[in-house]
Structure 1
Amino acid sequence: MAIFHYLDLSFPPTAYFGKCLSPLVPCFKEAIYTMPMEMRGGFLCCVLRDCTKDLTWLPAIMNMSGEVSLLVTNVFPNSPYFWAVLVQEDVYASMTNLFIALSKVVDHLPCLSKREVHRGLRCLAQCMLLYGEDMTWNRCWVVDVVGNHAIVFMLDYGITATVPIQCLRPLDSDTFWMTPPLAQPFFSRDGFKCIDFPGTFVDGEISGSCLNERHVLMFTKHAHKE
């Protein structure tokens, strides 16, 4: 009691507690979601620095707005964040040319040894991107090495996966990295329940971006028309 008296502390009147849910815990009207690491600007700057050696992709995607069609490539459970590819002629052309070029060289590339794999390495990784589909080879950036496995980020899909090191092949020619990442990060204004499964198309509108990560665009899905 002497301490409270010395500090001149007193509890607020009883009527105060009836005006709020809790006097100690603030009340939020909207849920707050943590942005996945792969979407953060610092992470993507590292990917671009090591892979494409060009950081202009990030500011370029910040200025997008208006009506768009998206091909969803990755979603996060119980989160409104997702990755998607813009359905546009120029993006489709870049995707087609890249995959054709990769298909011509992948069978002639050797497997990487464990001593060659390290964080920051750009290479090819073979994995199953969608459940039930065939294993495919895609451009990736090595996030870390754990034992005989590598954690890789597939920049054309926004997917992080753990693959055996024997499923990695070198791809150091700048020719294959001139194409910027095909997928880009989005935030669904409609909540995570409105995001379609990977491999599906969705129409909607881009209206702004996340406050602290402006390259993550805010997306509103169009209502389904019967």
Structure 2
Amino acid sequence: MANPVKPEKAVRQGYLNKHVNALKGYQSRFFVVNSEHGRLEYFLTKDAFVSSPQDYRGCIQLTGAEVAPKEEDSVSFNVFGANGEVFQLKADTAKDRQRWVDAIRTAVQRLNEATIDPLAVKMADIQPNSKGLNNKKKRKAQAANSTFLPPTQEMINTREAIAAAETALTEMSEIIASYPIKTLNNKGSAGQDKSQNQSAYHDSSHESSKYEDMLRIKAYSVACLQDLKTCFDSVQAEYLRSRAS
């Protein structure tokens, strides 16, 4: 792991509420805009960051990332990583949200500018068929000077729904994976096999935990279906909007 950012050198740091999963909802985490290494990192607490700034719980690479304030309220916003990862966040106040959005966007912009080929910064000085640049550099130059189009609300909703559905599926998979795989032993009498299977299934020491796990899987299943429905509705709305334009 690269050398951690020093606490006093973080571009911005502070507590935000992060969406964990469908059951736990939003929980407080300590976030750090680490522009030195191009990451938005989070820790359980500020003390955890100060004592071990290299041991962050999670992060999003800021190169190519997008920040989108949500319209449903004045404190929520999302950070979309270029790899598809999404942080759903809430600040304490509208002013605090704006400060976080500005800090993250500034870090993203500087990182994006740092990745642009210095020969491809000024398109006005480059002819379309210039032999001095290869196709890759031309594409970088065009991208550097193209107009940035922010994602529509429909596409933001779609990405949020996909991320939430993936979280629900992951949670269900972890619960199911914790159960041992039992295969029927065809050897011996059928009555003996049946008796052994019934005894294992009705083991009273595991019934309570099984019941709780089934309730959790049901809750995650409902949440996943709702997220996929939201995804479908958002994609359909975006399709109709694009078709009409």
Normalization by structure 1: what TM-score? Answer: 0.22
1 or 2, which has the higher helix percentage? 2
Q: Which has the higher contact order (CA 8 A, sep 6+)?
A: 1
Instruction: Identify, as 1 or 2, the structure richer in strand.
Output: 1
Which TM-score applies when normalising by structure 2? 0.20
